[in-house]
Amino acid sequence: VSGFTGVFVSGTETNPSITFKDDPNTGIFSIDSDKVSVTTAGQNRVNFTSDYPILIGTSTGVEYESNVVNGIQIQSVSKARGGILIQNNGTGSNGNALVFARAKGASPNNTTLVADNDQIGLIKFQGADGNDIKSEAAIIECKVAGTPGINTMPGELLFKTASTSSGAAPTTRMTIEPEGKVIVQNGIISSGNVQITDPSFLLVSGYRQDKILIPGVYQDPSLNNASLGYLQASTFGAVNGEAMVFK
């Protein structure tokens, strides 16, 4: 050691180069160029690399789509070691938050305004197809849906699933719009008693809260759309002595 600089051999996961007197198989080593690794009990646990910043449970990162990598990757061979726990032990009423944020600047901690239709965040579900891990089964997506401004961020949630067709990408099946309207579309949502098929959709309308609207079932001029029908459930009393009316 010279001054404040130390030069060490690379070491291995069972014999790290920086270690402890009474625990020689726990410490820090370098598994390869531009990589720093942490080992405990002689097993590589965490790797910091130049290409994939933080790798847990593996020393080799993977792309989840072409030319796209994660800042953090966790690999495991069992449920016991592959999850993430976020626990709040405070005495207050608030819980923890998982936040997906988006700005349109090109630097960290930016607050440049986003625009209508910009994607804010995704939760993706992908499975190995025998070739790679890039095949998407389902997506939950949040987008800006309107004009944003100071303390105003209109948004919508899109729920997408992939069909059984070869090479099919996830398609939007349900959308929650900014004012709370829920649209179910493009496919069968149930094989039981309730079934909405393409090109129909299920619309729960805020201006008629006692209605479930189904296109092409019944004409009601009061809805200002002759193509919409409805299933009416009375929540404040019977209609003509009945608890539910099908029209």
Give the bridge partners for 159, in sequence order: 140, 174
Q: What is the pLDDT of residue 3?
A: 60
| Angle, CA of 199, 205 and 206, to the nearest 5° | 160
Q: What is the pLDDT of residue 59?
A: 85
Q: What is the pLDDT of residue 6?
A: 80
pTM, two decimals, is 0.70
The neighbour count for residue 109, using CB atoms within 10 Å, is 6
Q: One digit per residue, pLDDT tens: the chain, 247 residues?
A: 456 678 899 999 999 999 999 999 999 999 999 999 999 999 999 999 887 689 898 888 888 888 777 888 888 888 888 888 999 999 999 999 999 999 999 899 999 999 999 999 999 999 999 999 999 999 999 999 999 999 999 999 999 999 999 999 999 988 888 988 877 765 444 443 334 544 444 444 344 444 444 444 443 445 444 444 444 443 444 444 444 444 4
Q: What is the pLDDT of residue 2?
A: 52
C-alpha 12/C-alpha 205 separation (Å) is 62
**Token pair for 238:** 């019977």
Q: Which candidate, 138, 104, 110, 107, places its Cα nearest to that of 124?
A: 138
**Token pair for 119:** 């994607």
